[in-house]
Structure 1
Amino acid sequence: MDTLTNLRTFLKVAESGGFSAAGRELGVATSVVTKRVDQLESSTQAQLFVRTTRTVTLTDAGQNWLNRVKLLLADADDVMSALTDSQEGLQGPLRVKMPTTLTILYLSDIVARFQKKHPKISLEIVLTDRPVNPAVEGFDVALGAFGTSYKDVTDFALCPLRRYLCASPEYLASAPELNHPKDLQNHTTLSFQPTGNNWAFEGKEGPVQVTVAPSINANEAHLLYTCALAGNGIAILPEYLAIPAFRDGTLVNVLKQYAPLDYAIKAQVPAARVLVRRITSFISFLQESFRPEPPWLRERSLSDEQLSDGDPSDR
């Protein structure tokens, strides 16, 4: 039994959603695909797929196995590609998790330039805004701005990420008084689901927290940005959305003396994979792309006084 071939077949069935589709992509008969999966199920003593006349779906065991198989096959590909990288350039698969809005606005250009530089690397980009442990979920790299760290995962810093409390002039014109974060409980709020409804600020007197009851709770920042622009309420937005809106006056930085806690954008890599050349090259490319500052700040026209009260370093 060729275990690696059978594992690749399992992965292809899971990705394509069927034995026939997997066979077409692999260039083999459906019966060959079935035989390979049967061999895996026999050797593992576990059913990997639920098969009906119309659908093929992963069992719980198959789902739990999926990400481990991806990492195992990636490691096998690394061993083989290491022999040819020096002569033919970097090659092999690279599976990356990226945040949705940031990728659409800025990171997609970085990905495009990296792909052009390394055309033999096969990129799989997954957009999601929740925290992801790359070692558990089968990613080579996970990008995000959450403070979460994981065992056996190495963090690579890219840049700080400031956040701002934002509202439109239209909303503020008829809104209740707002002098302190506690006043937000009397306002319509728009909340980013992954960070929760307990909003934390840093003021001159120290940290302040307030629990809001949002009218919109979304897991994607651009939706909150759009609702804030429409005058639907107050949102905490990352600087790559807030700063352009401050420049054109469509949003206002409110409660400047109480800054939402800053985050940091970082790339996380399973510790066992930090020396894989295509991964280290991608990390280096990301870091260079964020120097000397991230792309949304390079044409900055706002002064620090427009964004915050006092010296920005006090934040």
Structure 2
Amino acid sequence: MDRFAAMRLFVRVAELGSFSAVAQQMGVARSVVTRQVAALEQHLGCKLMARSTRSLTLTSAGAAYLEKCRVILNLVEAAETDIASERQTPRGPIRISLPLSFGVKRVAPLLLEFARRHPEVTLDMDYSDRRVNLIEEGIDLSIRVTRQLASGDVARRLGGCVNRVVAAPDYLARHGSPRHPRELAHHAFLGYTLSNSMVSFDIDGQLLNVPVRPQLTANNGEVLAEAAAQGMGITSQPDFIVEDWLASGRLEVILRDFAMPPLGVYALLPGNKQIPHRVRVLLEFLAERMG
């Protein structure tokens, strides 16, 4: 039995709460995972997990062993990372999750440059606006644009951007231009799916949340900007989404005197895990180029 491999499998099973999920992620049969954990239990002479048809829970010995395994495996990975760092040649796979619009427009050119510089690194890029679970999905690095991080996020700020409230000249000619954020409640609004029908402004250091009535919702800002350009309503989008529409004159900024809370661009990392050398090199590259 490869004890370190068995310990890694045990940690993965404990984190995901499922032998099947770990087997699927690794591309092996479920029996391979169960045999490894069973061999580890036999070696230790105690049960680490209580199994049933519907659930899997750690025993008291398993919970204590899990924490020690994490410490040991982090030390092992740190030692291996130090050796890799000394070689100065990043190599191996990196799975990275990116938001669709920002990822394609701003990050993709940087990732392609990074791939050309480091041909021994293989990048697996997943473009989606959904929030991914880095540990469950085996993601090494996630780029997110958000106003506020979630509790427990392990992140590094790479930069920022600003939101703009925009509408088509045709819409404003037909319905008038709001002079105060509260007037948005009387307009057709094109809202981002996760915004909870609220638009936020920073007025004299105080956060003003304005309720709006979505005429249309979508989980992608490009769609909402196009709908606004067609005169369907008002929308609030980051500058990297609306810049082309503003330059063409199809959209114009309104409520210029009212600032919106800034958005941060963050690199999110799996918690409680030593960053592999190849991921650290990519992180430093993105921080330098996007900062």
**TM-score normalised according to structure 1 size:** 0.67
Deviation at 1:234, TM superposition (A): 0.8
Q: Give the match for residue 148 of structure 1.
A: 149
After superposition, residues 91-130 of structure 1 pair within 5 angstroms as: 91-130=91-130
Q: Which runs of 5+ in 1 are unaligned?
A: 17-21, 24-32, 49-58, 62-67, 292-315
Q: Give the match for residue 248 of structure 1.
A: 248
**Secondary structure of the structure 2 residue equivalent to 1:156:** strand
Deviation at 1:34, TM superposition (A): 6.2
Matched-pair identity in %: 21
Q: Which amino acid aligns with 1:289?
A: R
> How far apart, in 2, do the equivalents of 1:209 and 1:80 lie?
49
Q: Give the match for residue 267 of structure 1.
A: 267
For residues 79-104 of structure 1, the C-alpha deviation after alignment (integer angstroms, 9 at most, x for no partner) is: 65654554471123323221111111
Deviation at 1:267, TM superposition (A): 1.2
> How far apart, in 2, do the equivalents of 1:92 and 1:278 lie?
7
Q: Find out whether 1:229 has 2:229 as its counterpart.
A: yes
Asked if 2 retains the 8 angstrom alpha-carbon contact of 1:91 and 1:278, the reply is yes
For residues 261-287 of structure 1, the C-alpha deviation after alignment (integer angstroms, 9 at most, x for no partner) is: 211111122453455322221111111
For residues 13-37 of structure 1, the C-alpha deviation after alignment (integer angstroms, 9 at most, x for no partner) is: 5259xxxxx57xxxxxxxxx46524
Q: Which runs of 5+ in 2 are unaligned?
A: 13-18, 42-48, 57-65
> How far apart, in 1, do the equivalents of 2:205 and 2:219 lie?
31
Q: Give the match for residue 180 of structure 1.
A: 180
> How far apart, in 1, do the equivalents of 2:126 and 2:79 lie?
24
Q: Greater RCO between the two (CA within 8 Å, min separation 6)? A: 2
Q: Which amino acid aligns with 1:252?
A: E
After superposition, residues 1-315 of structure 1 pair within 5 angstroms as: 1-2=1-2, 4=5, 7=9, 14-15=24-25, 22=27, 33=29, 35-37=31-33, 39=35, 46=51, 83-84=83-84, 86-87=86-87, 89-132=89-132, 134=134, 138-146=138-146, 147-151=148-152, 153-203=153-203, 207-270=207-270, 272-273=272-273, 275-291=275-291
Q: Which amino acid aligns with 2:233?
A: G
Q: Superposition RMSD on alpha carbons, in Å?
A: 3.6
Asked if 2 retains the 8 angstrom alpha-carbon contact of 1:149 and 1:155, the reply is no
Q: Which amino acid aligns with 2:32?
A: R
**Secondary structure of the structure 2 residue equivalent to 1:257:** coil
> How far apart, in 1, do the equivalents of 2:93 and 2:251 lie?
41
Q: Which amino acid aligns with 1:120?
A: E
**TM-score normalised according to structure 2 size:** 0.72
Q: Which amino acid aligns with 2:198?
A: N
